[in-house]
Structure 1
Amino acid sequence: MYKLFYYIAFLLFLSSCEYFQQAQPVDAVVMVGDAYLSQDDIKNLLPDQYTKEDSAIIVSSYINNWATERLLMQNARKNISLSQQEQLDKLIEKYRFELYSQAYKQELTKQNLDTVIKPAAVDKYFEEHQKDFKLNEDLVQFRYIQLDPLYTDVGSIDKLFKSGTEDAYRKLDSLSLGFKSHFLNDSIWVQKKIVFDRVSAINPSNEERYIKDKKYWKLEDSVGVYLVRFNNVLRRGDNAPLSYVKPTIKQVLLNRRKLNYIKKLEKDLLDDAIKSKKFQIKS
């Protein structure tokens, strides 16, 4: 820690003599004007386990930043006009009120707001705003299996894959440790780029040939053998399916509920203050 103490001593030496003439707290380690860092402040910076080198880096960086901020503040107070300082102080005070108000409202919301959005509410909102949910990208429902090029029993896997029954899925799942990768839930809508990521044999240059409704493909490249079936395809500009936009709708409804709760909270707060005469407007 010797380097650290030398560093702190050097910072103290750089401080002007008038700082030392002021009454200093007993445990002050670094001072800039009336502001100071105590020994405890320095200790609290350090993690539970640290090396001497780490401690020197952490403390010196923090002291530099701390001192720079306060020196800039002192210079600003000396060089910025009083009228501008008053404006800044008003902004600071306003920001202070906003921070406390937001923290208080968030805490009340967390404690009291019902965040469960019922399926019926989601369905109703979707029906009323369906025209607003247009896709800005292609979506697909597909399933695939990627096998190693040397996989010995592609035929039996292909047969199970084509059948698409629950029993076939269970058998494929039991064999999945032998697959390079797979995805069998073709009821889920996913972005088209997922196909490119998972099935390297399909890419933007040949997608028009392969990505079509109700199409099955067995493809090969240097990476593997792919069994792919597209269930449905939606294009950019089509109406978005409910299952895909459901999370968005839930968030919209939850945000609306939060806003209504906060409006009621603010109104009740004012009403209670008026009744109790905590809030009065003198005529």
Structure 2
Amino acid sequence: MAGPTTARRGERKPKPKSPSGSSRPPKGSKKKPAARQKAGAAGARTGLGRLLPRLSRRTRLVVRVVAAVLLGAGIGWVLYGSSWLRATHVEVDGVEVLTADEVREAADAPLGEPLISVDTDAIGERLRKRLPRIESVDVERDWPHGVSVEVTERQPRAILEKGGKFIEIDGMGVRFATVDRPPRKVPRLVMEAPADAPGTRRFGRARLEREGVRVSASLPPDVRRDTLVIRVRSYDAITVELTGGRTVVWGSGERGEAKARSLTALMKAARGANHFDVSAPGAPAASGS
């Protein structure tokens, strides 16, 4: 067979292509400018680029701290240094026998001082100490300028006559006031227990007095309104005297709720009776007409 012709032998062979089909770049060629910019950007991210966000966070932290300090100083000045939030008056609620002026005087609130610095606990303590008629009191700051005082007064459950005066005693046996005139609808406590009696020596006069008040506090409301005298002869010999000449033998101050229920039922069942005995509440008795 004849060999390749002279013309075919003189043709150049095609350049081999890369796997992607493009021609290989010649050796020694330099990177294009775009490639150099990408490399610089990558370097910036690994160097200075990392530092900038870190400095930014620190700056934000400093700003927050400074703002908090300035805000705190401003609030402190408003609360303590300015004339905007000063205590100027005392509002009193809940008084019945006491007057609002009596409460204000005893409270001795520091008017003109910053309201935030008013010691409400100290005011409440002064009121309870100076005005024994107060059973409980709630003192609060009433922004922007007031002090609010809510009073609950003791209620007399019995009165004890002494030297032409009347001592008011609450349901806990606390003597809290002495008045010239006895309050209406409050029974009088009469102590008849002899000083040398065994019960008096055992319990003491103060305990017997508290038992008489305890009986008064246990009476049903409608019966208490009709009660004139609670007579204490000994610990377990307490008698209640009602309007219309009626009497109730109560016994001791124990089991007051059960005795009150028995007395209510007994008075409904024996409407014409004038003598009731509930000293044994399980077996009450009524007599007289």
- TM-score normalised over the length of structure 2: 0.19
Structure with more helix by fraction: 1
Which structure features the higher share of strand residues?
2
Structure with the larger RCO, 1 or 2 (CA within 8 Å, 6+ apart): 1
